[in-house]
Amino acid sequence: MMWLYAIVLMLISGFSFWACSTEQSVHNEAKTFVAQINSTLKDTSQKDIALNKVTNFTWDQVHLATPYSDLRQDLSNSGIKNVNINTYNIAQRDDIKLLVYIDKNNVVKILPLSRKDIDFKVNHKLQLFDTSVQIAKSDLGTNTFALR
């Protein structure tokens, strides 16, 4: 019976380690993304950068999910197929925005971005941009950018 407890404990520990390492990986990816944008746009005279230049995976659309949005419903209404995803509880939060990368109507990556590190001004709750989308300097503040 003791071996059963040991196996259960190992499984729980392994899952906890996997969940923490996945969360840390996403956090590191977001920090790297912000650093790339900042180094390109804040420290130079360059006014914009193509979003596809700061990603290293395939996508054909990107959605910027804003605070308090119902991400699963918004994506489902737009014809996106796999909406059973981690939404980072955005429907109840105002401290993050999510860049949701889509390829062939499937979510391939979600990047949670802290609004204190980088923010985007948006006009609509749901906008899908294609791969030509640019991240541009905004007149709203030093860490605020626009997707266009």
Q: Would you state the pLDDT for residue 19?
A: 44
Average pLDDT value for residue range 44-50: 76
Domain count, the chain: 1
- Average pLDDT of the residues of the chain: 76
| Residue 110 near residue 33, CB atoms below 8 Å | no
Q: Which residue has the higher pLDDT, 92 or 120?
A: 92
Give residue 90's pLDDT: 87
Position 16 confidence tier, pLDDT thresholds 50, 70, 90 = very low
**Taking the CB of residue 10, how many other CB atoms lie within 10 A of it?**
10
Q: What pLDDT shows up at residue 62?
A: 87
Q: Does residue 22 register a pLDDT over 60? A: no
Average pLDDT over residues 96-108: 90
**DSSP-assigned states of every residue in 12-80:** HHHHHHHHHHHHHHHHHHHHHHHHHHIIIIISSS--EEEGGGG--S--SEEEEEPTT--HHHHHHHTT-
Q: What is the mean pLDDT of residues 32-38?
A: 80
85 versus 139: the higher-pLDDT residue is: 85
pTM of the model: 0.75
pLDDT of 28 above 80: yes
- Please state, for a pLDDT cut of 90, what percent of the chain lies above it: 5
**pLDDT surpassing 70 at residue 57:** yes
Q: Does residue 115 carry a pLDDT above 70?
A: yes
Sign of CA dihedral 48, 61, 128, 73: negative
Domain ranges, residue 8: 2-147
pLDDT band, very low/low/confident/very high, at 104 (cuts 50, 70, 90): very high
